Amino acid sequence: MKSARPYLIWFGIAVVLALVAIRGMQWVRDHPEHMPTARFEVAHPQGWATQRKLVGLARDDTACFAALDRAGAGYERRPVIGTGTCRASQRLVLTGNRFVPTMRPANAAPGCAVTVAMALWNRDVVQPLAQKHFGQKVVALENLGSYNCRAIRGGQAPSQHSTANAIDISAFVLADGTRIALINDWDDADVRRQFLHEVRDGSCDLFSTVLSPDYNAAHADHFHFDMAARTAGWSVCR
């Protein structure tokens, strides 16, 4: 009579694998931020798939605005502008500062995907670092604009600004009125420098392109953020 032991061993292995699969599926359901196929929600924490989902929103106007609607974000859409490689269909201005600090000037109107990324950036990067270094909130962001139908400087490929899929941030204003500007504070040996460098570093998991004064002289006075889609999903952080 053959021993039943090998069968019991295989049965035990099958049970263990089934339990692991069940736990794995439960974990996936509980952590949709890590799943590329799960619907993006502004309220979700950052996960392995967050940046990929944000890049996808830049190609899907309906999904992007639906995400803002589900989050209860107030916004005003701006008319489609431009044609071809300079067509921008996602431009908007948030009404209120619940998700992003007050923008100065207020009419930058970046694309929906960039705006959603900024909401997560403000929540997970800017405000925690402002509290860490200054003990107060950032209440305003100074910007150099979003839409600009042009090629990348020094090249021929269209800039992400050509579709408003980019924003340039030049300064942060704290609740007490303190202004932290990249042109003045990037290289200063004080807490403002540390804040700006940590903001840059913390931005790299959200935006597909992050360019700072360390990149070149053209970015000496601002951060460039965009949600460019690239082959294999690679990103740039400099």
Quote the pLDDT of residue 4. Answer: 60
Give mean pLDDT, residues 16-40: 73
**pLDDT value of residue 28:** 57
**Per-residue confidence (pLDDT) for residue 227, from 0 to 100:** 98
pLDDT for residue 140 is more than 60:
yes
What is the pLDDT confidence band of residue 27, given thresholds at 50, 70 and 90?
low
**pTM here?**
0.90
User: Prior bond to 213 cis, omega within 30?
Assistant: no
Burial of 58 (0-12, 13-18, 19+ CB in 10 A): buried
User: For residue 22, what pLDDT is reported?
Assistant: 55
Is it the case that residue 123 has pLDDT exceeding 90? yes
Instruction: Report the C-alpha gap between 138 and 130 in whole angstroms.
Output: 6
Q: Which of 76, 141, 60 is nearest to 109 (CA)?
A: 76
Whole-number average pLDDT of the chain: 92
Instruction: Dihedral sign for Cα 130, 135, 137, 142, please.
Output: negative
Cis peptide bond prior to 105, omega within 30° of 0 = yes
Q: What integer pLDDT is reported at residue 31 of this predicted model?
A: 82
Q: What is the pLDDT of residue 42?
A: 98
Per-residue pLDDT at 189 exceeds 80: yes
| pLDDT for the residue 25 | 54
Between CA 87 and CA 89 the distance in angstroms is: 6
SS3 236: strand
Query: Rounded mean pLDDT of 53-79?
Result: 98
Tell me the CB-side half-sphere exposure of residue 153, using CA atoms within 13 A: 8
| Stated length of the chain | 238
Split at pLDDT 50, 70, 90, the class of 18 is low
